[in-house]
Amino acid sequence: MDSTLLKGLRVLETLALSPTPRGVSELARELGLARSNAHRTLQTLAAAGYVRAADTAGTYECTLKLFELSSAIMDRVDVRRLATPHTQRLADVTQETVHLAALEGAAVVYLDKIESPQPVRAYSSIGGRAPAHCVASGKALLARLSHDDLAAVVGEALVSYTDRTITDPAALRQELAEVRERGWAVNRGEWRSSVSGLAAVIFNAQDEPEAAVGVSGPTDRLLPKIESSFRDEVLKAAEGISRELGCRDYWRAAARATD
């Protein structure tokens, strides 16, 4: 393992996730580096165009180079572009926030979103993450993993975020089995007690899970509507996006065994 490269990446990630410019000493303390090491790493990143000196003396911030690279990658993720008409329709019908998410390890990453027009709504950000076992899109995708892959991703330690979070692995596996059976997943205030959601998986041309699409909103407003109207709309969006990706029979893909 290249320890120098690893240190550089840690500094870059910390700066990228920081809401404000950071100083050399501050970064060194946070990352457990010598000040001289942190300074040298920042100078290297600056020479490569990834960071620059900020207006505040002695501090650094990221340039747009990371955005340029991430945009190039995102442009190759066809699901985001092809999903737009379907996610927009879903947002128009439900008037709630719509997410497009992909599974990465034990978390989901939000690839795209359409904000609810309502003043009280679920807040998130494109590129943001959420624990997969606590949100509807995550559970929809976890439900498609084989037993071994699920065990590798989730393990035996499920973090609790609210009093509704599923922390028992056996209980999670049981719920995921139900998700596979019915075709959609629900989050009932399991990550943030005030926010709930519903999601369904999207399949590609190989009938493999590509992403998940769902709606989220305030728990007291969303939960009463989940089974009465939103379920069918989310499934319609998931089927439509899957068709755009080349999936010929959405329900055949959904019925495939995971093991």
In terms of pLDDT, which residue wins out, 222 or 137?
137
Residues of the chain with CATH 1.10.10.10: 3-67
In this predicted structure, the answer to whether residue 259 has a pLDDT above a threshold of 60 is: no
Computed over every residue of the chain, the mean pLDDT equals: 89
- The pTM (predicted TM-score) of the whole model is 0.75
Beta strand pairing call for 51-53 and 185-188:
unpaired
Architecture of the CATH domain 3-67: Orthogonal Bundle (1.10)
Alpha-carbon gap, residue 64 to 236, rounded angstroms: 37
3.30.1360.10, 3.10.129.10, 3.30.450.40, 1.20.1730.10: which CATH number matches 77-255? 3.30.450.40
pLDDT of residue 145: 93
Burial 147-186 (b: 16+ CB within 10 A, else e): eeebeebbeeebeebeeebbeebeebbebbeebbeebbbb
pLDDT tens digits, one per residue of 85-140: 999 999 999 999 999 999 998 999 989 888 777 766 666 678 788 999 999 999 99
The answer to whether 96 and 122 are in contact (CB under 8 A) is: yes
The per-residue pLDDT for 75 is 65
Please determine, for residue 257, whether its predicted confidence score (pLDDT) is greater than 70. Answer: no
Asked if residue 206 has pLDDT above 80, the reply is yes
pLDDT above 80 for 191? yes
Average pLDDT over residues 222-231: 79
Contacts of 246 (CB under 8 A, 6+ apart): 204, 205
Q: How far apart are CA 8 and CA 38, in angstroms?
A: 9
In the chain, residues under CATH classification 3.30.450.40 are 77-255
Mean pLDDT across 205-225: 88
Torsion of CA 111, 115, 116, 117, to 10 degrees: -160
Strand-pair partners of 56 = none
- At 76 the pLDDT is 65
Indicate if the alpha-carbon torsion angle 147, 148, 149, 154 is positive or negative.
Answer: positive
pLDDT digit string (tens) for 142-186?
999 988 888 888 776 789 999 999 999 999 999 999 999 999 999
Region 208-227 average pLDDT: 86
Which of 199, 254, 204 lies closest to 79, judged by CA?
Answer: 204
Per-residue pLDDT tens for 58-80? 899 999 998 888 777 766 667 88
What pLDDT score was predicted for residue 242? Answer: 95
Question: What is the sign of the dihedral through the CA atoms of 102, 104, 106 and 111?
Answer: negative
